[in-house]
Amino acid sequence: MELPFFDTAFEEKALGLFRLHVDKNPIYRKFCQELGIAERDVDAIYRIPFMPIGFFKHHQVYIAHHQPQLCFHSSGTTGSQPSKHYIASEADYEQSLLDCFRSFYPSSRPVPHLFALLPNYQANPHSSLIYMLEALHRLGAIELRGYFNQDYSVLRDIMEISMGQGCSVIVWGVSFALLRFARQGGANLSGHMVIETGGMKGQEREIIRDELHAELQEAFHLPYIASEYGMTELMSQAYAPAQGMFQVNEHIGVLVRDLYDPLGLLPHGKTGAINIIDLNNRHSCPFIATQDLGRTHANGTFEVMGRVDNSEIRGCNLLSAS
Confidence (pTM): 0.91
Section 122-144 average pLDDT: 94
Q: Which residues contact 289 (CB under 8 A, 6 or more apart)?
A: 50, 51, 52, 53, 257, 262, 273, 275
- For the stretch 20-44, pLDDT in tens is 999 999 999 999 999 999 999 999 9
Domain 92-229: which CATH class? alpha beta
Confidence of residue 320 (pLDDT cuts 50, 70, 90): very low
What is the 8-class DSSP label of residue 249?
Answer: B
Instruction: Please state the domain extents for the chain.
Output: 92-229
Determine what percent of the chain is predicted with pLDDT higher than 90: 82
The secondary element (H helix, E strand) that includes residue 310 is none
Rg over alpha carbons for the chain, rounded to the nearest Å, is 19
In the predicted model, is pLDDT for residue 284 greater than 80?
A: yes
Higher pLDDT, 125 or 83: 83
Q: Is residue 204 classed as helix, strand or coil in its secondary structure?
A: coil
Confidence of residue 266 (pLDDT cuts 50, 70, 90): very high
CA distance 274 to 281: 17
The secondary element (H helix, E strand) that includes residue 307 is strand 301-307
Question: Beta 143-147 vs 252-258: how paired, if at all?
Answer: unpaired
CB contact at 8 A, 260 and 23: no
Q: What is the pLDDT of residue 171?
A: 98
How far CA 257 is from CA of 21, 174, 293, in Å, comes to: 21, 27, 9
What is the 8-class DSSP label of residue 194?
Answer: E
CA distance 95 to 303: 25
What is the 8-class DSSP label of residue 167?
Answer: -
- For the stretch 56-108, pLDDT in tens is 999 999 999 999 999 999 876 545 789 999 999 999 999 999 999 999 999 99
Biggest CA–CA distance in the chain, Å, is 62
CB contact at 8 A, 288 and 311: no
Section 222-228 average pLDDT: 97
Confidence of residue 318 (pLDDT cuts 50, 70, 90): very low
Confidence of residue 321 (pLDDT cuts 50, 70, 90): very low
> Which residue in 254, 259, 283 sits closest to 273, CA to CA?
259
Quick one: 50 exposed, middle or buried, by C-beta within 10 A (0-12, 13-18, 19+)?
Answer: buried
